[in-house]
Amino acid sequence: MNTIISDETILLKGKPVSKHIREKLTSQINELKIKRNIVPKLAVIIVGNDPASQVYVNSKTKAFNKMECASETYALPAEFGESDLIEIIEGLNKDVSVHGILVQLPLPKSMNTRKILMAVSPFKDVDGFHPLNIGHLFEGHPKFIPCTPNGIIEILDFYNIETDGCHAVIVGRSNIVGKPMFGLLSQKLRKGNATVTMCHTGTKNLSYFTKQADLLIVATGVPKYITSEMISENVNIIDVGINRIEDLNSPKGYKLVGDVDFNNCIEKANSITPVPGGVGPMTITMLLNNTVISAQKTSIK
Ligand code: GUN
């Protein structure tokens, strides 16, 4: 199953992991339909016209359709009122046909993101961003786990990457990736029990920490930020970044690169996720997973 690209380096592709999980989800979705007449349904809210967010939202709804789940999208103008948005969310909280609610981030600067995420029912918070769900995660009893970190755990599991007792270094402290990743890796959960160091923009001498990593997780949003001089031999690298950089040889005029300088690090690492095709395919699959879990629970409430 593993793709060996040199004597030492394993390419941690997301597609086979995603396929494996989607096969399991397909039978769960069928069972919900046949036995309980339930179709898992996601409501997506997007505010404004950020092109990257529009691409992500389209991919999410397409994946739901492909898996024969339902989705509805609320595409709202950037100047939409915060209290009107909260009213929509409260309506979705009460709608028994809706199992998951996702507010695409980032929201326009005029909106209070925290207030809006807190309006989503924790029982339909399939992004795992509500403070109650973050609390459950850090208490060691996760309910909805944020999709990208959860997808990373699945990759580590699928490719048998050891975390128990290892030193995991996370670069980036976002609420979407870095912080929940810390929660998952540091506790005695599946693929956890690591000693975890969290690095961020305030970290002095980043290389000092990244060189110590057995497992390096990078989510900075800065293209090719991590170079081979910053890592040790045999590190396992998870690159969360998806950055567009100019490429005049490509018909599109750009190419996608990660936060890790892939060509530069590949010889030294034990394993590495490619960009695109590494962590990317996992995020939407874990969103489907959380929505199916929610639908299974709603049915017995
Ligand atoms: N923006 C970037 N990643 C995400 C995500 O996982 N969920 C939401 N809601 N917005 C995002």
Q: Are residues 112 and 168 in the same domain?
A: no
Residue 11 lies in a domain: no
Note the pLDDT of residue 16.
98
Q: Are 107 and 50 in contact (CB under 8 A)?
A: no
Tell me how far apart the alpha carbons of residues 269 and 230 are, in angstroms, rounded to a whole number: 11
A 10 A CB-CB count for 195 gives 14
CATH number (domain holding residue 156): 3.40.50.720
Number of independent structural domains in the chain: 2
Note the pLDDT of residue 8.
74
Q: Are residues 270 and 199 in the same domain?
A: yes
Alpha carbon nearest to ligand 1 atom 4, residue: 105
Closest ligand 1 atom to Cα of 106:
1
Residue 285 lies in a domain: no
By most ligand atoms within 8 Å of CB, the mutation choice from 56, 174, 243 for ligand 1 is 56
Alpha carbon nearest to ligand 1 atom 8, residue: 104
Tell me how far apart the alpha carbons of residues 18 and 224 are, in angstroms, rounded to a whole number: 25
Name every protein residue with a CB atom under 6 angstroms from any ligand 1 atom. Answer: 102-105, 127, 147-148, 176, 283
Phi, psi of 83 (to 5 degrees): -70, -30
Quick: pLDDT tens for 244-271: 999 999 999 999 999 999 999 999 999 9
Using CA atoms, how far residue 296 sits from 30, 49, 200, 214, in Å, is 12, 33, 38, 37
Residue 248 lies in a domain: yes
Quick: pLDDT tens for 31-56: 999 999 999 999 999 999 999 999 99
CATH number (domain holding residue 44): 3.40.50.10860
Q: Tell me, in angstroms, the distance from the centre of ligand 1 to residue 127's CA.
A: 7
Task: Spell out the alpha helix ranges (H) of the chain.
Answer: 15-36, 51-66, 82-94, 113-119, 131-138, 147-158, 178-186, 206-210, 262-265, 280-298
Note the pLDDT of residue 1.
54
Give the predicted TM-score (pTM) of the model: 0.96
Alpha carbon nearest to ligand 1 atom 11, residue: 105
Per the DSSP assignment, residues forming a β-bridge with 239 are: 218
Stretch 143-168: mean pLDDT: 98
Tell me how far apart the alpha carbons of residues 301 and 295 are, in angstroms, rounded to a whole number: 10
Q: Are residues 234 and 164 in the same domain?
A: yes
Residue 294 lies in a domain: no
Quick: pLDDT tens for 193-240: 999 999 999 999 999 999 999 999 999 999 999 999 999 999 999 999
Tell me how far apart the alpha carbons of residues 81 and 25 are, in angstroms, rounded to a whole number: 37
By most ligand atoms within 8 Å of CB, the mutation choice from 50, 60, 103, 105 for ligand 1 is 105
Q: Are residues 93 and 195 in the same domain?
A: no
**Structural domain of 180:** 146-279
Tell me how far apart the alpha carbons of residues 124 and 280 are, in angstroms, rounded to a whole number: 23
Catalytic residue ranges: 60, 104, 127
Nearest alpha carbon to residue 295 among 67, 132, 130, 106: 67
Q: Are residues 87 and 183 in the same domain?
A: no
Alpha carbon nearest to ligand 1 atom 1, residue: 105
